[in-house]
Structure 1
Amino acid sequence: MDAGQQLSTTQIATDTAGFAPLLAEVRHAVLSGDRAPAVPRSVVSESWLRCLRAGLDPDRQQSLSLVDPKTVLEIRAAHPLAQVLPLLRSTLLCVAEESLHVMVITDAEGHVLWMDGQREVRKLADRFQFVEGVTWTEDTVGTNAIGTALAIGGPVQIYAHEHYASGQHVWTCAAAPIRDPETDALLGVVDVSGPFQTIHPATSTLVTGAARLAEEHLRIRMLARDEGLRRRNMPHLDRLGGAPGALLSPSGRVLATSPAGWIDGRLAVPEEGGECLLPTGDLAVAEPVPGGFLVRPAEPGRPRGYRPALTLAFLGDGPPTAVFAGRSRPLTLRHAELLTMLALYPRGLTADQLAAHLYGDAGNPVTVRAEMHRLRGLLGGLVEAKPYRLAADVEADFVTVRRLLDEGRVTEVMAAYRGALLPMSDAPAVRAEREELTAAVRRAVIDRGDPAALLRWTELKDGREDLEALSRLLSRLPQADPRRAALIARHDRLSAQAEHEARLLRLRRAQAGPRAVPPRVRRLP
């Protein structure tokens, strides 16, 4: 295979064992910064990059903590995927066992809730801590089908040496996410994993099909609940006597209206009911009824065009969240990226502009429109179209940090800055904003020289190995401060590491000679 040729899923799936040596060479070369004999699949190289940024050691897996068995049982009992467990077992378990694989189901956080399969295969999985109760995500164990499916929100198969962690190279896994038909929220992942020598080429297709069957099963149950809610609560709607009103599901999905077609889609309703916003921007009141809500226009008194508050928390390693209508909602990475762009461009952006910001030259506005449709379903009237913009008073933590920087309020900056903006995002515009914001915060803290701000910076992931910031902090911290000893030890370690890397660079340059032409190096983007 030519060095510039990209590996394909079809090639690897049809002969995983035959491609294993090449996959090993590609991984070693890419992670070492050398020229690779082939280009890894993009889903793999992007995952490796996320793992490198997270500081994971590819050749040394950390000891993983487990959720205790009692807690696992409690999570299982309350989890929506328990409803589809028999379906998934009947669809996948026989195939998994015949190919010496296991079937695994996780929740949306990557906790392994169920693992079924032959005892011998489970013993093999035990060797790299792949057991019930473990958290199997990219930021804990590196590139793997479950963690990568959670990260990208789509199905994926990872073969042998495509795993970031060397301890998992005996393994191949195929995973697909399962979403809630009510809210489109990620419920978890179904996965089939086992030795790469026994993988079947159709495993990924089968797992993805099983996930879609599970979603359809959940959708049918949802429709039955909808019908029951309408049947029980239509009298409430009839009592409005012809005045506008609507019945909503618990998540705010419109199930029935009077008059017909008064509103549609989804409204952002507080968990306990109360004020909400109609798609027109008018205020409404949601009253709890058995199994959902009855919504009607609010009494006159609040002007048309009232703008609700929308709070976005996108800084740091925690999941991105939006708070509106009194409720905090977790967001998918793609929805968080879209909201980042709309917060940065309050006048709005077209689908083409959003596609360019999020996907670069390969951006497709059709993909953006589909994602915006889901986002508008989640946020209701908070997102307007033509162009896409936020119809709310937005308080975004990353915008707040930028404003505080502009005003020179460094102490308040460090109180608000919890870490990098959407650190898992590879969207070009988000990455640019993240890098600019992090660099601006760093420079402001170092230049100001305030010990409290410097200490806070060096406690964050972005600044923990910042040699310049540590030097500045030690120069400002009192000699009697008890924290100096640990800071000096970290400073000395980083100084020695920097000097070692400088010596290696000088040695490489000397060995190359003045006339040597360095080879073309293919690196992760």
Structure 2
Amino acid sequence: MSDNLLAGYNLKERRNIIENHWCDFTESAIRPAQDQISQAISQSWQRSALSLNKKVTHAPSIAKTRIREEWQMSPLSIAARQEQDNMMQLAREGELVAAIADPSGCMLWSHASRHMRSRAESVNFQEGGRWDEQSIGTNAIGLAKKLRSPVTVFSSEHYQSFLHDWVCYAAPIIHPQSGECVGILDMSTTWKKHTALGQAAVTQLACNIARNLPEVSPRAELEIRALGQAQVVFRGQNLQLSKRQLEILCLLALNPQGLKLEAFHAALYGDAPISSSTLKAELSHLRHLLDGQVGSRPYRLMMPVWCDFIQVWQALHEQNVNEAFRLYQGPLMAQSESPELEEWRHCIEAVMGKLLNSCNEPELLMQQLCAKTSGNEMVRERLVELIS
């Protein structure tokens, strides 16, 4: 939100300034002034303009029966239970509506005060409502999902005009062990009741819920996610790696039999004029980070490993549509120029494309579209084909 940028104005003046920028953008595609509208909101407006071709009056929804089942079975429900009384009390006293969404932005639970109940129901801000950015444009749940950080969306910062009377505070619920976003907490009210304390309260509640989450059993000693947003977990702890180190790790995972230095150099650098000693140094550093679990002659991983790109390839080979869609979050290391990783990336994209072209289930495609933060173009194109 543009709180800091418009700190010298009262709430009504802020609302009017933002409304003017919103009108200029939606009617004439004029980008807002950077000294009055935050970059996060401006970029979200631009994404919303590309993904939404018409104005709507409420959020789309998923069947409530299915949502209730998902909520009851979710570890998030258990973790949130200890904070729900507190959230409901805050909602009543602060004339708010409290809500928890899953990682895709679909609302699983909500509790509204009298002040907000009819407002929430009228826009489907309740169980089953889809509040990802692709479905409803700029909003706090969708933006917190996209940025993986706490956000406030005030009045006309919402892309859809029917939300301009709202102010919404949201924060991602990040699992402290895996670093995974398991949900989003949101508390909303009318714009006249906006207070900076709202965001602080939601952020703290999200942290409290995260601390109550059950521990995650690792799939393997080393877990690698490189489809879309990269993440490496070693013995239950997030490992911060450079792009080159991640490329090396992926190549080691793809070649469990091991690679000799010359073959490794070709797979990683191709014809680039980079010395073998540079690769040796990179491998030595990675070996240190992995507690010595990288062997040599040939170079190989000496521990169990789980990789999303290998799992998605197996799912594609077995024509397991649901599993492939669940695992695929975007291209394999999209910026990598490693010849072997480029080949794997092209193969996965080609087979995913064939799978999408043969998929005739709009609901399945919509779920995939809502769940991902990248790699959406193929899904969106196929969905348009089915519903047009």
Give the greater-gyration-radius structure (CA).
Answer: 1
Give TM-score, length-normalised by structure 2: 0.63
Give distance in 1, aligned partners of 2:160 and 2:41.
Answer: 12
Match of 2:334 in 1: 340
Q: Is the Cα–Cα contact under 8 Å of residues 72 and 133 in structure 1 kept in the other structure?
A: yes
Match of 2:41 in 1: 44
Is 2:50 aligned against 1:53?
A: yes
Alignment of 1:200-239 (within 5 A): 200-218=195-213, 221-222=214-215
How has the CA–CA distance of structure 1 residues 210 and 282 changed in structure 2, closer, same or farther, with 3 Å as cutoff? same
- Offset at 1:81? 0.9
Give distance in 2, aligned partners of 1:26 and 1:463.
Answer: 30
How has the CA–CA distance of structure 1 residues 280 and 181 changed in structure 2, closer, same or farther, with 3 Å as cutoff? farther
How has the CA–CA distance of structure 1 residues 147 and 81 changed in structure 2, closer, same or farther, with 3 Å as cutoff? same
- Offset at 1:265? 2.9
1:46-83 deviation line (CA, Å, top 9, x unaligned):
111111111343xx216654333322221111111111
Match of 1:244 in 2: none
Q: Secondary structure at the match of 2:335?
A: helix
Give distance in 2, aligned partners of 1:154 and 1:197.
Answer: 24
1:412-440 deviation line (CA, Å, top 9, x unaligned):
99858869xx9965xxxx9xxx9xxx9xx
How has the CA–CA distance of structure 1 residues 193 and 143 changed in structure 2, closer, same or farther, with 3 Å as cutoff? same
Match of 1:132 in 2: 127
Calculate percent identity across the aligned residue pairs.
21
Q: Secondary structure at the match of 1:135?
A: coil
Alignment of 1:3-402 (within 5 A): 7-9=2-4, 11=6, 15-31=10-26, 32-34=28-30, 36=32, 39-57=36-54, 60-61=55-56, 64-218=59-213, 221-222=214-215, 249-253=217-221, 265=235, 305=300, 323=312, 336=330, 339-342=333-336, 345-346=337-338, 395-397=344-346
Alignment of 1:403-442 (within 5 A): 415=354
How has the CA–CA distance of structure 1 residues 330 and 48 changed in structure 2, closer, same or farther, with 3 Å as cutoff? same
Aligned length: 301
Q: Secondary structure at the match of 2:235?
A: coil
How has the CA–CA distance of structure 1 residues 175 and 264 changed in structure 2, closer, same or farther, with 3 Å as cutoff? closer
Structure 2 residue ranges without an equivalent (≥5): 223-232, 238-250, 259-297, 316-322, 358-364, 366-370
Alignment of 1:440-479 (within 5 A): 460=381
1:150-203 deviation line (CA, Å, top 9, x unaligned):
122222110000000001000010111112344332211000011011122111
- Offset at 1:9? 3.9
RMSD (Å) for aligned C-alpha atoms: 4.6
Give distance in 2, aligned partners of 1:253 and 1:215.
Answer: 23
**Comparing 108-117 and 186-195, the one that deviates more:** 108-117
Give distance in 2, aligned partners of 1:126 and 1:323.
Answer: 39
Give distance in 2, aligned partners of 1:40 and 1:341.
Answer: 30
Give TM-score, length-normalised by structure 1: 0.48
| Counterpart residue identity of residue 216, structure 1 | R
How has the CA–CA distance of structure 1 residues 62 and 169 changed in structure 2, closer, same or farther, with 3 Å as cutoff? closer
Q: Secondary structure at the match of 1:202?
A: helix
Give distance in 2, aligned partners of 1:69 and 1:400.
Answer: 34
